[in-house]
Amino acid sequence: MSAIPKDPVILLSFLNTKLRDSYSSLPALCDDLELDMNQLKEKIAAIGYTYDSDQNKFI
């Protein structure tokens, strides 16, 4: 998880941009980048956002 931003707000922007531009789902992003999906969700939840699979973004 070292190649992604550490700051949760910057991480949110990073993830939503990747999801919009390159990935059809959060599981696909996590598989490709070898990231732990639960850790990402927890970090983003700490700033009040959750993943919406229908919209394919954190809202």
- Per-residue pLDDT in tens (0 to 9) along the chain, 59 residues: 457 999 999 999 999 999 999 999 999 999 999 999 999 999 999 999 999 999 999 99
Amino acid at position 16, single letter: N
pLDDT for residue 2:
53
Q: How many CA atoms lie within 13 A of 7 on its CB side?
A: 4
Nearest-angstrom CA–CA distance, 30 and 51: 13
Q: Which DSSP letter does residue 45 get?
A: H
Nearest-angstrom CA–CA distance, 32 and 59: 22
Distances (CA, A) of 38 to 18, 23, 26, 34: 17, 17, 11, 12
